[in-house]
Structure 1
Amino acid sequence: MASATTIGHTTYGKTKSGDEVLLYTFTNRNGMVMKVINFGAAITSINVPNAKGRLTDVVLGFDSIEGYESNPPYFGVTVGRVANRTEGGKFIIAGETYQLSINDSPRANHLHGGFKGFSKVVWKSEIKDDKVVLTYVSPDGEEGYPGQLTTHCTYQLTDDNAVVINFNATTTKSTPVNMCNHSYFNLSGKEKSSISDHSLMINADAYTPVKENLIPTGVLCPVQDTLFDFRHPVVIGDRLDDVGGFDHNFCLNSKQLSDCAARISHPSGLTMEVYTTKPGLQFYSANFLDGMVEGKNKLYYEKHGGLCLETQNYPNAVNVPTFPEVVLHPGQVYAHTTIFKFLSN
Structure 2
Amino acid sequence: MTKSLFGEVGGVPVEEIVIRSKAGATAKILTWGAVVRELVVPASGGRQSVTLGLNTIDDYVAHSPHFGAVPGRFANRIANGRFTLDGVEHTLDKKPGDKHTLHGGPKGFGKRVWTLGRYDESSATLTIESPDGDAGFPGALVATCVYRLLEPTTLRVEFTATTDKPTVVNLTQHAYFNLDGSADILDHEVRLFADFYTPSDAELIPTGEIRTVAASPYDFRAARPVRNAGGTAYDTNFVVARPLGSDGLAPIARVRSPKNGLTLSLFSDQPGVQFYDAATLNVPVPGLGGARYGAHAGLCLETQAFPDSPNRRHFTDTTLRPGAEYRHVSEFRFA
Q: Given the two structures, how large is their TM-score scaled by the length of structure 1?
A: 0.92
Q: Cα deviation per residue 1:268-304 (whole Å; 9 max; x = unaligned)? A: 1100010111100000010221353542234331111
1:245-284 → structure 2 map (5 Å cutoff): 245-256=233-244, 257-267=248-258, 268-284=260-276
CA contact (8 A) 1:9 1:25 kept: yes
Q: Give me the whole-angstrom Cα distance separating, in 2, the residues matched to 1:104 and 1:186.
A: 31
CA contact (8 A) 1:48 1:55 kept: yes
Bigger shift: residues 87-96 or 119-128: 119-128
Counterpart pick for 2:2 among 4, 8, 11: 8
Q: Cα deviation per residue 1:161-195 (whole Å; 9 max; x = unaligned)? A: 000000000011111100001000001124xx111
Counterpart pick for 1:49 among 18, 42, 48: 42
Matched, 1:144 2:132: no
Matched, 1:118 2:112: no
Tell me how far 1:64 sits from its aligned partner: 1.1
Bigger shift: residues 23-32 or 308-317: 23-32
Q: Give me the whole-angstrom Cα distance separating, in 1, the residues matched to 2:33 and 2:318.
A: 22
CA contact (8 A) 1:163 1:340 kept: yes
Structure 1 alignment gaps of length 5 or more:
1-6
Q: Cα deviation per residue 1:1-54 (whole Å; 9 max; x = unaligned)? A: xxxxxx221111222x111111111121111111101110000001111124x1
1:179-218 → structure 2 map (5 Å cutoff): 179-190=171-182, 193-218=183-208
Q: Cα deviation per residue 1:38-76 (whole Å; 9 max; x = unaligned)? A: 110000001111124x11111011011112222441101
1:96 is matched with 88
Inter-CA distance 38–111: structure 2 relative to 1 (3 Å threshold): same
Matched, 1:31 2:24: yes
1:320 is matched with 312
1:227 is matched with 217
Bigger shift: residues 245-254 or 19-28: 19-28
Tell me how far 1:337 sits from its aligned partner: 0.4
Matched, 1:60 2:47: no
Q: Cα deviation per residue 1:136-181 (whole Å; 9 max; x = unaligned)? A: 1001111111110001000000112000000000011111100001
Give 1:242's aligned amino acid.
G
Give 2:207's aligned amino acid.
T
CA contact (8 A) 1:104 1:111 kept: no
CA contact (8 A) 1:204 1:231 kept: yes
Q: How many residues align?
A: 330
Give 1:200's aligned amino acid.
V
Give 1:117's aligned amino acid.
G
Counterpart pick for 1:242 among 226, 231, 237: 231
- Aligned-residue Cα RMSD (Å) equals 1.4
Secondary structure in 2 aligned to 1:127? strand
CA contact (8 A) 2:6 2:56 kept: yes
Structure 2 alignment gaps of length 5 or more:
none
Give 1:234's aligned amino acid.
R
Inter-CA distance 156–339: structure 2 relative to 1 (3 Å threshold): same
Q: Cα deviation per residue 1:112-146 (whole Å; 9 max; x = unaligned)? A: 01111101111111334542110110011111111
Q: Give me the whole-angstrom Cα distance separating, in 2, the residues matched to 1:295 and 1:51.
A: 24
CA contact (8 A) 2:250 2:269 kept: no
Bigger shift: residues 219-228 or 96-105: 96-105
Inter-CA distance 131–266: structure 2 relative to 1 (3 Å threshold): same
Secondary structure in 1 aligned to 2:37? strand
Bigger shift: residues 158-167 or 248-257: 248-257
CA contact (8 A) 1:82 1:113 kept: yes
Secondary structure in 2 aligned to 1:301? coil
